[in-house]
Structure formats: structure tokens, C-alpha cells
Amino acid sequence: MYTSAVTSATVIVYVEDNVSWRLGLGLCTVLSLIGVLIFLSGKRFYRQGKPQGSPFIGLAGVVVACIKKRKLSISSRTEDFYRGHDDHDSTTRVDTPPTNTFSNELLGFMS
């Protein structure tokens, strides 16, 4: 995908610079329409699940959790974000300090 994107962008810029802007922009438009048509022609092959509840419920849960945790202090010590293994000298990075409060709040909100 990356190679095709770079190649197509290079070809379009070349056409716009050396042939004409109108042809370059027309080429972009035609290729975009072809891509949309190919995408829409494959729509029947995709499995579409039925919506289960409102998507705004999850979003509201995130907002509520953010408001509840806005004054939570996070340690500035690097050691608090690493846990060492007893069997060898390597360390494993931990993105956040372990806590049960978020999962309990989230499960309580969602039920």
C-alpha cells in the first residue's frame, strides 16, 4: 500500500508539473471514483453486525472516568513504571501503575 501510494503521488505530481494541472486533478478525481466504486461493489461480502446499544454510552463512560480521575496523582519516579523479574536481570515496562479502581468503576458504570 505504501509503495502504491508513493508511486501514485509521484505520478500525479509529475503529470501536474509537466503536462497540466487539469489532467492531474482529473486523474485524481477519476481514480478516487474508481476506488469508491470498487469499495461499494464489495459491500455485500462484508458481515454487518447489528448495533448493540448506543455508542454514546461508552463515550459517556470515558468522560465520567476522566472527571473522576482528574485529580489523581501519578508518580514521577521512573522505578514505579518498571517491574523486575526475580529469575533474571531484565525488566518489563509497565505503562501504568497497577490499580483496580478503573476496572471497578468501568464495570460498575457499564452494568
Q: Are 60 and 35 part of one and the same domain?
A: no
55-88 b/e (C-beta count within 10 Å ≥ 16 → b): eeeeeeeeeeeeeeeeeeeeeeeeeeeeeeeeee
pTM: predicted TM-score of the whole model, two decimal places? 0.41
Does residue 82 lie within any of the structural domains? no
Residue-range definition of the domain harbouring residue 15 = 2-41
Q: Are 15 and 37 part of one and the same domain?
A: yes
Q: Are 37 and 61 part of one and the same domain?
A: no
Does residue 46 lie within any of the structural domains? no
Judge contact between 74 and 62, C-beta under 8 A.
no
Question: Using CA of residue 88, residue 91, residue 97, residue 103, what is the dihedral sign?
Answer: negative
Does residue 111 lie within any of the structural domains? yes
Helix axis angle for 2-18 and 21-41, nearest 10°, is 150
pLDDT digits (tens, 9 = 90+) for 34-85: 989 999 998 888 887 887 888 898 899 999 999 998 887 777 777 766 665 4
Judge contact between 7 and 15, C-beta under 8 A.
no
